[in-house]
Amino acid sequence: MKLLTHNMLTSHVKGVTKGYPLIIKATEVKVNELEFNAQFVSRMIPKLEWSALIQAAEWLGQSQDLPSALIPDYENDEEFLRKVHRILLEVEVIEGCLQCPESGREFPISKGVPNMLLNEGE
Amino acid sequence: MKKLKELESCLQQVDGFEEPKILLEQYPTSPHIAGCMLYTIHNTFDDIQNKLVADLGCGCGVLSIGAAVLDAGLCVGFDIDEDALDIFKGNVEDFELSNIDMVQCDVCSIGSSYAKKFDTVIMNPPFGTKHNQELRYDLPASYKFHKKKSVDIQVDFIRFTPT
């Protein structure tokens, strides 16, 4: 599971009003190279919940020196974009779970795939 | 990958369902249909390269693989079935693709909240012949395919854009 994907996932447990962001508890993390594309990264940034991304990076011990708030004119800062590229697309959670911040319900991540399926009645 | 034929022959390498589950209405999207569809989306509408793509009801991932091969920025596949996702994962490894991710979930209940973040949504989903569920999405550029089961296989290619 890449952090770009994680940034979009929410908990849909019944009754939960704020199931975001899902807390990452990782037991295995990998970093896989992906070709850097400044234009793509730059376009993804406005779609992100930036604070959730920073939190996710922290949970994985990968926050390095990502700023806690977006810098202005980031589109032209290649160094910054490369850092974002790495955290969004190259860092992957292979094993662990995602926890709903409100209900505590855990969604397992196995072989890189989070399982968001709920049981009947949840 | 400039030619449709190249894309199609590439997609022929994608493994399909080993034992399709009838209740989930699983069937493979043929490399020909997948190729035509993706090629059109890519060449006519420029909706794949460098885009964030969602494949709803991805199954074994033929559409996602195709999108990734056409240089999607990232393609995320969503499916309810673990066995299909395992095959999808095998395909991703065979093709050595790194711009793919996948989530196991029920696309009928994930809501449109995160689908809205995607540039493009592609799907060749179950049509509800088993459960008669309606799939309703309020989405950005979205492609839905209906395969009519008849001797002459015709596919409707429907492109939705936000108004």
**For residue A12, which residues of chain B lie inside 8 Å, CB to CB?**
109-111
Q: DSSP class of residue A115?
A: B
Give me the pLDDT at residue B150, please.
Answer: 34
Interface residues of chain A, partner chain B, Cβ below 8 Å: 1-2, 4-5, 8-10, 12, 32-34, 37, 39-40, 43-44, 47, 89, 111-118
Residue reference for tokens 């979009």: A8
Q: Which of A68-72, B59-63, B128-132, B157-161 has the highest mean pLDDT?
A: B59-63
pTM equals: 0.88
Asked whether residue B162 carries a pLDDT value surpassing 80, the answer given is no
Asked whether residue B153 carries a pLDDT value surpassing 80, the answer given is no
Q: Which amino acid is residue B49, in one-letter code?
A: Q
Which of B50, B89, B117 lies at the smallest CB-CB distance from A8?
Answer: B117
Judge: B103–A2 Cβ closer than 8 Å, yes or no.
Answer: no
The alpha-helical segments, DSSP class H, found in chain A are 3-6, 38-44, 50-59, 78-85
pLDDT confidence band for B114 (50 / 70 / 90): low
Give me the pLDDT at residue A68, please.
Answer: 87
Residue reference for tokens 């160094």: A79
Percent pLDDT > 70 in chain A is 100
Is cis: bond before B162, omega within 30 of 0? no
Helix axes B4-11, B62-69, angle to 10 degrees: 140
Which of B73, B103, B110 lies at the smallest CB-CB distance from A5?
Answer: B103
Residue reference for tokens 């199954």: B59
Cβ atoms within 10 Å of A121's Cβ, excluding its own: 5
Tokens of B160: 């939705």
pLDDT confidence band for B125 (50 / 70 / 90): confident
Strand, coil or helix: B22:
helix
Residue reference for tokens 């376009």: A43
Per the model's pLDDT, the better-predicted residue between A93 and B125 turns out to be A93
